[in-house]
Amino acid sequence: MIICDLDGTLWDSSESVVAAWNMEVKRITGVDPQITPDDMRRNMGKTMNEIAEDVFPMFPQEERYGLARRCEVFENAYIAEHGGDLFEGVRETLQQLHAAGVPMAIVSNCQEGYVPAFLRSMDMGRYFIDYEEWGRSGLSKAENIRLVMERNGAPSAVYVGDIQKDADASAEAGVPCIWAAYGFGRIEAPAAVLRSFAELPQALEALGYCWKATGTA
């Protein structure tokens, strides 16, 4: 099974996320938080509570999580309508792997509803057999990786992510991590490196996942 991170691995939704959060916070509080795409990109991969701590320093700590929850709801609706920017080669490679019968899933530290918004806006629901979100399960990324594997009877998996936290979660879950080097961060000692998502099939072969021959990974 291939399990993918979302932000920084499959797409960049930072422009849409920033637009949604700035609009909703200003509507609720009258204050424009002036969150920038770079603010969001440096926080991709963190839990939503961690992001709230970083981007809402202008509000009392006791208000930050509540504001984040309101922003999440608005963001999901905004993302579903406006989408984001897929990285090069993502759609074509997912089509290729799906056609070969490779089971694929998404595990992200996002809020509940964000992955469905991605799937809906990008018309990608057919490619993934499962997903899990921090906001839905309340579990760590490592626990969610194991959960998805168990739920789908996958004896092995690889995780594709773009930041060190992804690699740490993969190690904790006992699966190798492939680094999406075109994403938002760095990974030390990854199992393989992707300069483009289109390189994923070759990386799988190099790791011994003979997906072409068996239809599994």
Contacts of 166 (CB under 8 A, 6+ apart): 5, 9, 45, 141, 159, 177, 187
Higher pLDDT, 7 or 44: 7
Q: How many C-beta atoms lie closer than 10 Å to residue 160's C-beta?
A: 28
* 216 pLDDT higher than 60: no
Q: Using the predicted structure, report yes or no on whether residue 213 has a pLDDT greater than 70.
A: no
pLDDT confidence of residue 214: 42
End-to-end CA distance of the chain: 5
Better-scored residue on pLDDT, 216 or 60? 60
Confidence band for 210, pLDDT divided at 50, 70 and 90: low
Which pLDDT score is estimated for 1?
A: 96
Task: Give per-residue burial for 21-47: e unless 16+ CB within 10 Å, then b.
Answer: bbebbeeeeeeebebeeebbbbbbbbb
φ/ψ of residue 35, rounded to 5: -70, 140
Average pLDDT, the chain: 93
Q: Is the pLDDT of residue 212 over 60?
A: no
pLDDT for 215: 43
DSSP string, 5-26: -SBTTTEE-HHHHHHHHHHHHH
Q: Per-residue confidence at 217, pLDDT binned at 50, 70, 90?
A: very low
Sorting pLDDT into bands at 50, 70 and 90, what band is 41?
confident
Is 46:69 a contact under the CB 8 Å cutoff?
no
Domains annotated for the chain, with CATH where assigned, are 2-12+86-214 (3.40.50.1000), 14-82 (1.10.150)
Q: Whose CA is closest to 132, among 124, 142, 123, 120? A: 142
Question: What are 88-129's pLDDT values in tens digits?
Answer: 999 999 999 999 999 999 999 999 999 999 999 999 999 999
Residue of 105 and 51 predicted with greater confidence: 105
The stretches of the chain forming alpha helices (DSSP H) are 14-29, 37-43, 48-55, 61-82, 90-99, 114-122, 134-137, 141-151, 164-173, 200-206, 211-214
Tally of CB atoms within 10 A around 209 = 21
